[in-house]
Amino acid sequence: MFAKNTNHRARLTVAAQQLVVCAPGPSTGALRGEAHFPSPPALANTLLQLELSLSSPVFDLRDITNIIRSDIGLTTQLLRLAAAETQESPDRIVSLSELVVRVGVDQLRELASRTIPLQDNLPSHAGSTVARRFWAHSRLTALVAEELAYEFPEVRLEEAYMAGLLWNLGELPVVLGWPITGSAAMESHDLGCQMADAWGFPRALSDVIGGDREVCITRESRALLEVAINASSWAFRLEFLAARESPSLRAKNPPYRIGRD
């Protein structure tokens, strides 16, 4: 259904190790990687939906999973929470629905309470606009990746969705204005891989986020990487076409572009 395209990468100026350092936020237990990278925020509406679902007398695990997977911040936090319970990063990419069951409602409530709303994490309205566009672009890339996965029998739909959602993870420091130290140039996917490793993501997912075909040595990981690359390219195209057809949309919410306001 979709044609294959090469991915265009952006470069960031970052240090090679311990790029971002922040004070740990309030919690009963630290999540993986808090000594190196701040915890990502989540959209305020998504947080509200999650809190309402978790406060319901009857829990709908499918609804809770869908809320979390719609937001790159909450998805990242759930992966970190699951990683905090293991000593090493797992080899297998576990579905978000399975992770929701594993961590349980009580830990999900704490996760929601400790996650900062996106607008509270940004210094200006302009920054909020860029961040919202990034959140929307990540979600669109995930949906396209899920669709593309039908063409790859080696790739599960949930794996494709997560790979698409987190494909541009390395851009979060710039999008959110996190302090970046050092002067060594690092490609954004290399930074994303470092963040994924620090946060305890599954190794296969970290490899795909890194974007290096030589690192993705298995047939499954190479197929997943191909899905993520093509999904990102198609997401940019779809955003451009939507903006071109709607001048009002283009003026109010222009397509997200790497490294641009």
pLDDT tens digits for 73-105? 999 999 999 998 776 667 789 999 999 999 999
Query: Could you tell me where the beta strands, DSSP code E, fall in 158-243?
Result: 185-187
Identify the domain boundary among 114, 142, 166.
114
pTM: 0.82
Q: Are residues 63 and 99 in the same domain?
A: yes
Among 44-48, 212-216, 222-226, whose mean pLDDT is lowest?
A: 212-216
pLDDT of residue 239: 87
Residue 8, in any domain of the structure: no
Which of 114, 141, 161 is the endpoint of a domain?
114
As for how many domains the chain has, the answer is 2
Whole-number average pLDDT of the chain:
82
Are residues 105 and 167 located together in one domain of the fold? no
Indicate whether 90 and 134 sit together in one domain. no
Q: Is residue 14 part of a domain?
A: no
Q: Are residues 101 and 158 in the same domain?
A: no
Share of the chain above pLDDT 70, in %: 76
CA quadruple 198, 196, 216, 12: dihedral sign: negative
Picking from 89, 114, 139, the residue at the C-terminal end of a domain is: 114
In a domain, residue 236? The reply is yes
Two structure tokens written together for 199 = 């946060």
At residue 198, the pLDDT reads 93
pLDDT confidence of residue 35? 84
pLDDT tens digits, 154-164: 999 999 999 99
* pLDDT tops 90 at residue 167: yes
φ, ψ dihedrals at 12, nearest 5°: -120, 155
Query: Among 6, 5, 4, 8, which Cα is nearest to 187's?
Result: 8
pLDDT in tens, 24-75: 343 446 788 888 899 999 999 999 999 999 998 888 999 999 999 999 999 9
Residue type, position 96, single letter: L
Regarding whether 248 and 130 lie in a shared domain, the answer is yes
Structural domain of residue 213, as residue ranges? 123-252
Judge if 130 and 110 occupy the same domain: no
